[in-house]
Amino acid sequence: MDDRYIDTTVLVTGAASGIGRAIAFAAAREGARLILGDITVDRLADAAEELRARGAQVVHARCDITSTADLESLVQRGSHELGPVDVAFANAGVLGSPGDVWSYSEDEFTRILDINVTGTWRTVRAVLPAMIERRRGIIVATASAAGLIGPAGLPAYVASKHAVVGLVKSTAMNVAAHGIRVNALCPHMVDTPMLDKVSHEIPGLRESLDQQTPLGRVATSEEVARSALWLGSDESSFVTGHALLVDGGLVAQ
Ligand code: NAD
């Protein structure tokens, strides 16, 4: 077992499922204390219970990233019980409905941006003051390959993930002098409940994604978590303002 996260307090949003859950379990294996938030409380409680059974110290609570109060309360409680946040994985996000740009629902567009962009900013804002005070901290925001390329059919999602990459770069420049690093994780397609949901809506999607990817398959959430943990560790000590593709070579084609 690596021990890069011993004596480290880690925040994960969207920790009940998929990539966030995999990050929480991988960080726990490396010794992290965990502050976990999600809106899906039953699955979050299950994950927290399993992590505690494996010996991890965990604080978990319902935390909707569209709510500043939820985020502040989770960070405050978690920091009080486990110590200030050393590494924050601002991971929660939603795909939203597919659609064309010209007929997309304004309510849906606004909803996706509020969760994916403003929610990521709210998460960053909730952890930065203490990080700045301690001159220590690492933030990893889950963007997407869709933050760097613009496939048709998911206009709000693509716009939101480009905005997350922009937010990461701007924040990284803002806090570099305070000793804090900020990076974006950019997976393409990952085998999570999010992908299961779209695969049901679009027959044949899963197979075509496997074929389009040079490595011949979509990613597992565990391998995406390993890249996230690298960004969140001192092994990436000279990397900041970066958008790390974890895409099996898709964007390089
Ligand atoms: P997922 O649906 O399995 O998990 C997302 C989690 O976020 C869920 O537990 C959900 O309850 C939670 N969540 C949703 N809205 C929330 C909110 N307002 N506040 C707090 N929690 C909320 O999805 P995933 O695939 O693990 O996605 C995690 C991140 O990875 C997202 O930001 C997503 O955009 C990004 N991503 C996913 C893929 C993929 O193919 N799965 C690819 C690239 C990027």
Share of the chain above pLDDT 70, in %: 100
Long-range contacts of 133-136 (CB under 8 A, 24+ apart): 134/84, 135/178, 135/179, 135/180, 136/86, 136/179, 136/180
What is the arithmetic mean of pLDDT over 245-249? 97
**Ligand 1 cavity residues, CB under 6 Å:** 13-14, 16-20, 38-40, 63-66, 91-94, 115, 119, 142, 144, 187, 189-190, 192-195
Per-residue pLDDT of 102-129, as tens digits, reads: 999 999 999 999 999 999 999 999 999 9
Ligand 1 pocket mutation pick from 11, 12, 19 by most atoms within 8 angstroms of CB: 19
Which residues, 6 or more positions from 71, have their beta carbon under 8 angstroms from its beta carbon? 13, 37, 63, 65, 122, 123, 126
Is residue 157 annotated as part of the catalytic site, yes or no? yes
Mean pLDDT, rounded, of the chain:
96
Its pTM surpasses 0.75: yes
Give yes or no for residue 194 having a pLDDT over 90. no
| pLDDT one-digit tens code per residue, 167-180 | 999 999 999 999 99
195 — pLDDT class (breaks 50, 70, 90): confident
- β-pairing, 33-38 vs 58-62, is parallel
Predicted confidence (pLDDT) per residue in 145-163, tens digit: 999 999 999 999 999 999 9
Q: Match 């110290």 to its residue by tokens.
A: 57
pLDDT at 1 exceeding the cut of 70: no
Distance of CA 181 to the CA centre of its chain: 15
Closest protein CA for atom 11 of ligand 1: 40
Residue 234 near residue 4 (C-beta atoms within 8 A): yes
Residues 218-227 pLDDT 10s: 999 999 999 9
d(CA 242, CA 245): 9
pLDDT-derived band at 197, boundaries 50, 70, 90: confident
Give the pLDDT confidence of 57-109 residue by residue, as tens digits. Answer: 999 999 999 999 999 999 999 999 999 999 999 999 999 999 999 999 999 99
Domains and CATH numbers, the chain: 9-192+221-243 (3.40.50.720)
Distance from the alpha carbon of residue 91 to the mean position of ligand 1, in angstroms: 7
Under 8 Å between Cβ of 74 and 82: no
Q: DSSP 3-state assignment of 194?
A: helix
Q: Phi, psi (5° rounding) for residue 78?
A: -60, -45
Distance 114 CA to ligand 1 centre (A): 14
Q: Which of 89, 109, 121, 157 is catalytic?
A: 157
> Which residue has better confidence, 51 or 204?
51
